[in-house]
Structure 1
Amino acid sequence: MIDDSGDVLRVAAIQSPPSTTDLARNEALAFDAVRRAADAGARLIALPELVTVPYFAGSPAGRYRGWAQPAHGAFADRWAALAKECGAALVVPFYEHDPASGCFHNAVLGFDANGAPLRDDGGAIARKLHLPVGGEPPPGFDEPAHFTPGSALHVVRVGAWRIGVLVCYDRRFPECWRALRATGADLVIVPVAGSGGDDMDFFVGEMRTHARENGLAVLCANKAGDEFLDDARIDNFGESCVIAADGAVLARRSGAAGAGVVSASLSHAEIARTRERLPYFLHRRTDLYGTPSF
């Protein structure tokens, strides 16, 4: 729910099952989960990284470009219609092909509760900025072989709420969190696929730390269960969660619990109280850091 004052927002993260090469099935399962979250009262719903396709960055470059979708077209129209049907804003990661540039991106679409795009131009609200290489065992993954990195952070509005998105690996970089806070964000959504080599407690603890350091609520959505594609295995361990601006875990779904929905209510007033109590962002010595913009 969003209350009449705009203070309280009910949010949900979809913890998806492993994706398969049956893309229509992946999308149908995601749609069903979104409807369940909306029926339970969520008014902002986030899904995991590359939710409608298996994570393919361990495969040869270009093999799965046929899976990519433009930000304008039938794929986006279906999700916009779902947002309107459910009366909930949606944050939808996808594999993007930008016809204007010819580039491919690991990106995120956003729609408000009326199905309107969250960006004025209807484009992606986020493109993954940092593209990792590595992973064990071989062949690992090579995201720069598959994606062009994004070039900007964006903050979008859902009612009175200002929301930023950091796609998976982007969460590793404290500068991103600082910049989103400086731009006015209240909430950061983190779509994830895989473990990134972390254990589960570190995965959640890292986001708790960034939340508390910056006075930002966090909504994180991950898949749960191993994906297999070509010679690669992606260990999605779940742990989707909602984290308050003081770092407290408001809700968390273990990987052992499998696919499902994790939800909680966030309050603007509580974020404001947290920022007064923990004024780390205001106490920065930007004269020492060389980055006065944030």
Structure 2
Amino acid sequence: MTDDVLRVAAIQSPPCTTDLAHNAAIAFDAVRRAANEGARLIALPELATVPYFAGSPAGRYREWANPAQGAFADKWAALAKECDAALIVPFYEHDPASGCYHNAVLGFDAKGLSLRANASPVARKLHLPVGDDPPPGYDEPAHFTPGSGLHVVNVGVWRVGVLVCYDRRFPECWRALRAQGADLVIVPVAGSGGDDMDFFVGEMRTHARENGLAVLCANKAGDEFLDDARIDNFGESCVIAADGAVLARRSGMLGAGIVSATLVHADIARTRRRLNYYAHRRTDLYGTPSF
């Protein structure tokens, strides 16, 4: 497989429990399976090895957080090298320098080296939702500090951006990633966000086609229960082409598994020539934003 052709995979994980070692073991096994099936870029869901805890009291479960550099990261780096595959690993981050906690993502190339954007090894969730349906709801600002910038890294000839879950709601993010040269956007997700399954996938199909960006989305499948909260992870992990076509999709009814497809860099260029919305923007009507 050449650099122009990339086999990608999304890990559709089972619900996480409070046994974090068990969660990590399941995730590691799934990554190895995906790599054995030929994937060379593998993405995991949001908060991949911990239950979604934003429905719990503020500050609870901070012992689950890890720094971006240290034993936690080293284990994933070693796995990437073992599997000869780039890994996108969402995690609960504690930044010792600032004291802040983030909903974040680490990346490693096939040699186990950190994938960095502007010297930063982490992408951080930018938009933090608050909701009360179903009760007791969730309050991400009580648990996380939002990130301060978009994150685009190089994986071979591919430029790869990251939007964590709620970030996918904001069209400006997609446009800005396109402006920064992204070809592919990774969307790690936990829960449903109140969407039905077809809207969930349709939303990402629309953003892909509007911007000429391939999408790799990883979600969990199955309900997580923590304290008084239930998180309805409904799966629907998917790979979407830059023209919005669904290349692969896994129903939550099928449970955990691997969703994979092959992307061709030249196909994205052809799609952009045919669906040239980005170049046809009327910036004379609404100014010239950075995207």
Asked if these proteins are the same fold (TM beyond 0.5), I'd say yes
- Deviation, 1:120, is 6.8
2:105 & 2:45 partners in 1: Cα distance?
A: 10
> For residues 6-21 of structure 1, what are the structure 2 equivalents within 5 Å?
6-21=3-18
**38, 42, 58: which is aligned to 1:41?**
38
1:193 & 1:135 partners in 2: Cα distance?
A: 16
CA contact (8 A) 1:109 1:123 kept: no
2:117 & 2:197 partners in 1: Cα distance?
A: 37
Name 1:143's counterpart in structure 2. 140
Q: Deviations over 1:137-176 (max 9, x none)?
A: 2110000000000000011000010000000000000000
Name 1:218's counterpart in structure 2. 215
Length, aligned pairs only: 291
CA RMSD, 1 decimal: 1.0
- Deviation, 1:289, is 2.2
**256, 260, 283: which is aligned to 2:257?**
260
Q: Deviations over 1:65-91 (max 9, x none)?
A: 000000001000000000000000000
CA contact (8 A) 1:13 1:263 kept: yes
SS in 1 for 2:269: helix
For structure 1, which runs of at least 5 residues remain unmatched after alignment?
none
**14, 25, 28: which is aligned to 1:31?**
28
Q: Does 1:72 align with 2:69?
A: yes
- Deviation, 1:135, is 3.6
Q: Deviations over 1:235-291 (max 9, x none)?
A: 000000000000000000000010000000001111011000000011011222234
CA contact (8 A) 1:72 1:122 kept: no
SS in 2 for 1:62: coil
Structure 1, 118-127 or 97-106: larger mean CA deviation = 118-127
CA contact (8 A) 1:71 1:109 kept: yes
CA contact (8 A) 1:215 1:275 kept: yes
Name 1:86's counterpart in structure 2. 83
> For residues 169-248 of structure 1, what are the structure 2 equivalents within 5 Å?
169-248=166-245
SS in 2 for 1:38: helix
The letter of the residue matching 2:278 is: F
Q: Does 1:283 align with 2:291?
A: no
Q: What is the TM-score normalised by the length of structure 2? A: 0.98
CA contact (8 A) 1:241 1:253 kept: yes
1:200 & 1:236 partners in 2: Cα distance?
A: 10
Relative to structure 1, is the Cα distance of residues 41 and 169 closer, same or farther in structure 2, using a 3 angstrom cutoff?
A: same
Q: Deviations over 1:21-67 (max 9, x none)?
A: 00000000000000000000000000000011000000000111000
Name 1:60's counterpart in structure 2. 57
Q: Percent identity?
A: 85
1:283 & 1:135 partners in 2: Cα distance?
A: 40
Q: What is the TM-score normalised by the length of structure 1? A: 0.97
CA contact (8 A) 1:9 1:43 kept: yes
The letter of the residue matching 2:260 is: S
- Deviation, 1:122, is 7.0
CA contact (8 A) 1:211 1:218 kept: yes
- Deviation, 1:131, is 0.1
SS in 2 for 1:163: strand
CA contact (8 A) 1:71 1:123 kept: no
The letter of the residue matching 1:70 is: P
Q: Does 1:117 align with 2:114?
A: yes
CA contact (8 A) 1:71 1:122 kept: no
Q: Does 1:102 align with 2:99?
A: yes
For structure 2, which runs of at least 5 residues remain unmatched after alignment?
none
- Deviation, 1:121, is 7.8
2:286 & 2:22 partners in 1: Cα distance?
A: 49
The letter of the residue matching 1:64 is: Y
SS in 1 for 2:90: strand
